[in-house]
Structure 1
């Protein structure tokens, strides 16, 4: 049922790919970003940060046009080249024990609208409109939507054969991640993969809800303008990276709140006692290990919170999600956090030393209380998406995180 299409990618030349590929703009701190822009003229960051050339911060539609200009310059200067025939692109990231192997392809807006491509997060209309205007102006998409599908032996067998061939790219970035990319141009192999994905019942968005929603909005607008619309135009598709469920890695976000909503420490603990069995931990940093168990750091001490299931009702997949439980039992009713996305009293953290960082932030007085959860699993994401429900913001931090500029889809 899922439609996947090969496309003619715009790609960096082999000698420059290691310099072009960049992490997401938000992942760089200011000093690192400025250093790359100053000393690496081939970085894709020059395209998405075109104001650097003029030593000026530029935003809005003016920025969109300059992004397009920088992109055209990369083409003119032969930093990029375009493949002559439509291909699939097999891309592998590996670091230490973590490895993911997935497929760059074009996925269908029709599948998105018909819920074959499934969502588990809400999108903001303002961001959808803004990004669709961006895509319409620049004319390309360089950041694929990360999607996952149920492991399939036949698909895996084909991909495993492909990676025995010589890679088009093979380089390691300064964060010690090895990147390899293979081009699948054989027509028979492409058709086999299309047929196998045609038997896949659903694709699940793991990361990129706004990118996919914006692509759907752009397709709708483009269709209205095109009197000869046929359904196969480039705007009817958007670039995605498809990986099997087993290769998705999901991490948790913690929650930190700046105050106790007017409550004393004692009154707050008493309020928690209604729905949780509370135990003070005297064995150092405490990290929960089971669903419906939370770690809380308050006033220099860790506590374990065990949900009293007899007084909390599980009615659907969302109600049994730990981030939803924490919101409905503590953040909203006790701490007064209504809007998880925009309330300035709450912040989120993730990463390798997530719990230690949370403790440090609270000890330094930036926040009053923090909560840590176990990661959500892929089955929970699928259950939420299948039920047409939406997870609370910052429920998952998902890897792999893809590099921008390795494969570009022209609209």
Structure 2
């Protein structure tokens, strides 16, 4: 069984609707630039930092990752994002076509992934994996969810429903 742990997440301290953005891989740079235009709070400045660099910048250039780090640090230093005082698990909700799915946000081990305890569930492109690995290393943070599944568990389902009912 995989090990998961609570962690001290950074969350929006207001401006949630301005910070929220689609996942980095569903927009190209031009679309992201347009979506974030005039919105200094958009998390696209962290997840797709090339939007703050000259058009045509190599997406995998070191300055792209440096800009992501700079933007994330600015969000933290200016109080746009605040770190929770205590480690926690977080509930994640995603709604599409009127159906909501819930997930648990937690810290997981990359060692367990490499050992096969956490199994790969899809084929991903090496260039995209390398990009996100460089992004994580540059920021010392994971800025987007990695979806994992687990066998049906009544206790987890019950707790998820209890927490979701509060919102």
Return closer, same or farther for 1:54/1:127 CA change in 2, 3 Å cut-off: closer
Residue 145 of structure 1 is matched in structure 2 by: 146
How big is the shift at 1:123? Answer: 5.1
How big is the shift at 1:150? Answer: 1.9
Larger of the two Rg values belongs to structure: 1
Query: Which structure ranks higher in relative contact order (CA pairs < 8 Å, sequence separation ≥ 6)?
Result: 2
Match of 2:11, SS state, is: strand
Match of 2:86, SS state, is: coil
- TM-score normalised by the chain length of structure 2: 0.84
Return closer, same or farther for 1:25/1:68 CA change in 2, 3 Å cut-off: same
Return closer, same or farther for 1:88/1:135 CA change in 2, 3 Å cut-off: same
Partner Cα distance (1:107, 1:21) in 2: 23
How big is the shift at 1:96? Answer: 4.2
How big is the shift at 1:17? Answer: 1.4
Give the aligned CA root-mean-square deviation in angstroms.
2.4
2:113 is the counterpart of 1:93: no
Return closer, same or farther for 1:125/1:161 CA change in 2, 3 Å cut-off: closer
Residue 39 of structure 1 is matched in structure 2 by: 38
Partner Cα distance (2:32, 2:47) in 1: 12
How big is the shift at 1:155? Answer: 1.3
Partner Cα distance (2:165, 2:121) in 1: 35
How big is the shift at 1:87? Answer: 0.2
Return closer, same or farther for 1:112/1:16 CA change in 2, 3 Å cut-off: same
User: Greater helix share, 1 or 2?
Assistant: 2
Match of 1:81, SS state, is: strand
Query: When the two structures are aligned, how many residues end up with a matched partner?
Result: 165
Partner Cα distance (1:90, 1:147) in 2: 14
Partner Cα distance (2:109, 2:30) in 1: 39
Residue 3 of structure 1 is matched in structure 2 by: 3
